[in-house]
Chains A and B, each alone.
Chain A
């Protein structure tokens, strides 16, 4: 089977997974919760009861024989409609991009769910991409150093650091970072970094009024570069440093351990002995020969690492009050905004399945032994 046929098969798998997840979440949510929750995202504040009942019937949330809105909201049995009809209508609505109105606190019925989501998503993307870059950038050198200086001080230090980093609760570490950098490393009452928020204006080394930027991508760091506003770029970078450190420490640690063990495995192979006996420099042996083979397990695991990062983003945004979708999903689940939940789940699932597909493609390209 050729590579593109394999990719096609995986894309069908993506569609299957998305359908399955949307069906499961839909049935669980609307089956377990009262029908008012199913209607709530589509109600605007000024609707009368008759309009609400009509809306419920057009969405198949209430049966056509339902007498009044009061009967519907008091769960009269003749108003209860089957879920499969609701699911079909809901699919039609989201195909047109209509996810209803957001139920988040402060926004109930005024802002569209899709707009709230797309407004917040770039911030989360910024954190996740930054976290991945930091993870890969630090884990590979640390793992290689650990493997090449095996059982010496750098190895022991990095192993202990990796174990501790792997066992940290992310939210606790986020607060510890805030305490250290805002409370302890403080000058004149202001901490070194900003504790929370997406823009740093209350710290020692930041600008208090950095101006404004044009929105191109929604990510402040990129947009400030594209708008040419350097103080804004610096401030948004400063406010992202602590969250990214908190977010990536756990994944960084586990990737370091994997790189270390796979490098040690690669350095034990016969071809390394041959390379050394040929007289090649140690650096060439390690980077040109051993690392290429050691990278493969690390690439395999990068899908899981990205999944862990996306899960950790929820905690990091809550701790640092970062305005991304992670923070929004926590308030959405406390308010039970079903549509926001479903949108979030589907987007995260698509991102992860596509990422895993890309990882497998890269692995197939890098390893000539794999042929699909």
Chain B
């Protein structure tokens, strides 16, 4: 009788097991997979946009092709739609004669870049201040909380409008204007996380071994509290795009010709009922990109649920 030999199988332990488990959960959720495809796709399209589309076309007026639509698959119930000379424009042309599809592709890198800048800066500032406030406690904590109260007393868009009024219309000022109402959210988020984590036994153990507060905070507490921040960051990429494209739409952009999704909607305001494609397609792009990041954020939240940890 042959004896079966037991082949030792090396099991995955620790973080590798967590990540594999997380990946399995991720694959099982079709909605999250769709969201991540959209999000990654928009980032890739943004990176490749200067290759796909000539980046100089947004400054040039092509008067012969103003406000025309010649996509045969769909027709609008409006009168006086001009037929475009030459090639087929899939999404029509705008009032300066530029191809709307090319404008949208050119607008993506600017939007993604500004959004990522704002989210990363807000996270860095918020996490630094919030964890400091929570760990130190006392008057410092109280003071930082009161400062965030001031920022929470106004809606984000209103505060951004006030800052833009005072600073003037440039991209840098737009970034600062949206950053200012955004960082207090991260302060509150990380503060509540660190407050509850601070009471854990391992922190007391670390303190009794003589570890410095900075070491405890950055090497031990923060890695355990970072998951909600990552979820919030992913969701905020979409929300920040919504906010600063709203600011651009309201008229705070430095150049009305600038290819940016909110700015493209502004161009279409005077033509709502005569050339609706000017508004429909840029807005649809914002919707799809933000939806992708929101789906991704929801998926990240589901996958990084604390019950997976230990």
Q: How far is the CB of A352 from chain B (nearest CB, A)?
A: 5
> Contact between A311 and B156 (Cβ–Cβ < 8 Å)?
yes
Cross-interface CB contact of A17 among B78, B153, B166, B279, cutoff 8 Å: B153
Task: Decide yes or no: A345 and B162 within 8 Å by CB, A169-B283, A353-B153 being known contacts.
Answer: yes
User: B265 in the interface, Cβ–Cβ < 8 Å?
Assistant: yes
Task: Decide yes or no: A20 and B150 within 8 Å by CB, A175-B279, A314-B157 being known contacts.
Answer: yes
Within 8 A of B (CB), among A294-335: 307-308, 310-312, 314-315, 318, 329-330, 332-334
Q: How far is the CB of A332 from chain B (nearest CB, A)?
A: 8
Docked CA distance A330–B249 (Å): 11
> Contact between A179 and B273 (Cβ–Cβ < 8 Å)?
yes
Q: Which residues in B have their C-beta under 8 angstroms from that of A311?
A: 155-158
Considering only CB atoms, which chain B residue lies closest to A307 in the complex?
Answer: B155
Considering only CB atoms, which chain A residue lies closest to B294 in the complex?
Answer: A167
User: A11 in the interface, Cβ–Cβ < 8 Å?
Assistant: no
Chain B interface residue count, CB cutoff 8 Å, equals 46
User: A153 in the interface, Cβ–Cβ < 8 Å?
Assistant: no
Considering only CB atoms, which chain B residue lies closest to A335 in the complex?
Answer: B165
Docked CA distance A254–B58 (Å): 36
Considering only CB atoms, which chain A residue lies closest to B185 in the complex?
Answer: A304
Cross-interface CB contact of B283 among A163, A172, A183, A308, cutoff 8 Å: A172
User: B303 in the interface, Cβ–Cβ < 8 Å?
Assistant: no
Q: Which residues in B have their C-beta under 8 angstroms from that of A182?
A: 273
Considering only CB atoms, which chain B residue lies closest to A29 in the complex?
Answer: B166
Docked CA distance A257–B266 (Å): 31
Docked CA distance A247–B280 (Å): 18
Chain A interface residue count, CB cutoff 8 Å, equals 50
> Contact between A21 and B156 (Cβ–Cβ < 8 Å)?
no
User: A83 in the interface, Cβ–Cβ < 8 Å?
Assistant: no
Docked CA distance A170–B280 (Å): 13
Q: How far is the CB of A153 from chain B (nearest CB, A)?
A: 15
CB-defined interface of B270-300 with A at 8 Å, one 1/0 digit per residue? 0011001001101110110011001100100
Cross-interface CB contact of B157 among A29, A315, A332, A352, cutoff 8 Å: A315
Docked CA distance A175–B149 (Å): 34
> Contact between A167 and B154 (Cβ–Cβ < 8 Å)?
no
> Contact between A13 and B78 (Cβ–Cβ < 8 Å)?
no
Q: How far is the CB of A321 from chain B (nearest CB, A)?
A: 10
> Contact between A16 and B158 (Cβ–Cβ < 8 Å)?
no
CB-defined interface of B145-182 with A at 8 Å, one 1/0 digit per residue? 01001101111111001111111000000000000000
> Contact between B153 and A333 (Cβ–Cβ < 8 Å)?
no
Q: Which residues in A have their C-beta under 8 angstroms from that of B152?
A: 307, 352
Docked CA distance A217–B165 (Å): 31
> Which secondary structure dominates chain B's binding surface?
helix
Q: How far is the CB of B279 from chain A (nearest CB, A)?
A: 5
User: A336 in the interface, Cβ–Cβ < 8 Å?
Assistant: yes
Q: How far is the CB of B159 from chain A (nearest CB, A)?
A: 8
User: A280 in the interface, Cβ–Cβ < 8 Å?
Assistant: no
> Contact between A183 and B158 (Cβ–Cβ < 8 Å)?
no
Q: How far is the CB of B71 from chain A (nearest CB, A)?
A: 17
Docked CA distance A135–B286 (Å): 23
Docked CA distance A334–B166 (Å): 10
Q: Which residues in B have their C-beta under 8 angstroms from that of A333?
A: 161-162, 164-165, 252
Q: Which residues in B have their C-beta under 8 angstroms from that of A307?
A: 152, 154-155
User: A94 in the interface, Cβ–Cβ < 8 Å?
Assistant: no
Considering only CB atoms, which chain B residue lies closest to A14 in the complex?
Answer: B153
> Contact between B154 and A172 (Cβ–Cβ < 8 Å)?
no
Q: Which residues in A have their C-beta under 8 angstroms from that of B298?
A: 163
User: B137 in the interface, Cβ–Cβ < 8 Å?
Assistant: no
> Contact between A352 and B165 (Cβ–Cβ < 8 Å)?
no
Q: Could you list some 14 contacts between A and B, CB below 8 A?
A: A16-B146, A17-B150, A163-B294, A163-B298, A164-B291, A169-B249, A172-B282, A173-B283, A175-B269, A179-B276, A307-B155, A311-B156, A333-B161, A336-B165
B-contacting residues of A (Cβ < 8 Å)? Answer: 13, 16-17, 20-21, 24-25, 28-29, 32-33, 163-164, 166-173, 175-176, 178-179, 182-184, 195, 307-308, 310-312, 314-315, 318, 329-330, 332-334, 336, 341, 344-345, 348-349, 352-353
